[in-house]
């Protein structure tokens, strides 16, 4: 067996919150064969298998009595190119932002708004990652995943994945599918999305009148760096709560009370509220209790100032949820996977 399995391994380096819990067993899979070896070994040991990527969408609240498998496969490639539409494929363990930069260096547009999102390519379809008006589903073509129940390798189309806001079939069927490779359709003719958030304003400030996808990526990296803490310096998992969807009538009632309500109309008579605005308006921005806190610049981000436990961070999140529900009548949903 080529898979190297270690016992009692701290997961602190493998989750962006920097929570120090132990995995009973730990291994890294660099190819499909090692993934299959991990599945077989976990079954032989009668242990659950927990698959992680960059650990950037994870809150660990206790030691993990399982074989923790970190996807470490690497590789990005062009599959087809008709001069306009280009199909690219990347391995599940490929870090997401370097993959975005790789695509931009190939002269391809489509992923620029998703720049600087932490995590790996394989984790991206799990919650249909999105930012600044673009979601993964907008460029998604297909993926290959292993059925952990049967060992079958299966191809998934866009329709098969049942993508929704920060959701997918893979998230709803957690523990069944192990994503190995992802394929996306990018373009040599840029169709830029500049109207969500301060992107266009930032480009104007920089004197860029005809932006390229690389220009947009750089602007978004700058915006995100100013608003969001670097997990290497301050433990966090990015946005901790989803932006809630409410009926237009409820949004109108809230707007009558709060003229500065941040809200975006959606299809089907729904309105997306800015969770960060709700949390900040409730007074939680910059809150700290011990080493668990809310970031001072972005209320949507919970942070670990050093030695916070997963339980302490989760407890803070529950208090924020309860307060927002009482004040605004809005339920906030936690975005990271809580274990």
281 is catalytic: no
Catalytic residue among 112, 181, 239, 281: 239
148 is catalytic: no
Angle (deg, nearest 10), helices 96-105 and 213-227: 150
Show the CA angle centred on residue 181, arms to residues 89 and 55, nearest 5°: 115
Catalytic residue among 70, 166, 183, 281: 166
- Name 113's Cβ contacts closer than 8 Å, sequence gap at least 6: 131, 132, 133, 134, 193, 196, 199, 216, 220
166 is catalytic: yes
CB 272 within 8 A of CB 266: yes
Residues acting as catalytic residues: 166, 239, 335
């Amino acid at each position: 067996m080529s898979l190297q399995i270690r016992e009692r391994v701290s997961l602190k380096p493998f989750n962006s919150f920097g929570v120090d819990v132990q995995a009973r067993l730990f291994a890294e899979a660099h190819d499909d064969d090692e993934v299959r070896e991990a599945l077989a070994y976990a079954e032989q040991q009668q242990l659950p298998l927990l698959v992680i990527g960059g650990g950037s969408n994870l809150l660990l609240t206790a030691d993990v009595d399982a074989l923790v498998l970190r996807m470490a496969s690497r590789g990005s490639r062009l599959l087809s190119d008709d001069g306009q539409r280009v199909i690219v494929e990347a391995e599940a363990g490929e870090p997401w932002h370097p993959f975005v930069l790789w695509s931009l260096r190939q002269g391809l547009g489509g992923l620029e708004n998703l720049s600087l999102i932490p995590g790996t390519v394989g984790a991206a379809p799990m919650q249909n990652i999105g930012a600044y008006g673009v979601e993964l589903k907008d460029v998604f073509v297909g993926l290959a995943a292993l059925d952990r129940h049967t060992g079958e390798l299966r191809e998934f189309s866009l329709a098969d994945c049942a993508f929704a806001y920060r959701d997918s079939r893979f998230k709803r069927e957690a523990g069944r599918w192990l994503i190995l490779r992802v394929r996306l359709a990018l373009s040599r003719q840029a169709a830029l999305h500049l109207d969500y958030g301060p992107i266009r304003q930032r480009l104007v400030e920089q004197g860029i009148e005809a932006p390229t996808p690389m220009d947009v990526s750089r602007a978004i990296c700058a915006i995100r760096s100013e608003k969001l803490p670097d997990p290497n310096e301050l433990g966090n998992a990015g946005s901790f709560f989803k932006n809630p969807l409410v009926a237009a009538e409820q949004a109108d009632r809230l707007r009558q009370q709060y003229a500065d309500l941040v809200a975006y109309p959606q299809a089907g008579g729904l309105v997306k509220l800015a969770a960060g605005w709700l949390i900040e308006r409730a007074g939680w921005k910059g809150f700290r209790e011990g080493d668990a806190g809310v970031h001072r610049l972005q209320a949507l981000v919970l942070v670990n100032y050093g030695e916070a436990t997963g339980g302490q961070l989760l407890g803070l999140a529950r208090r924020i949820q309860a307060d927002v529900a009482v004040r605004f009548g809005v339920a906030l949903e936690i975005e990271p996977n809580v274990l």
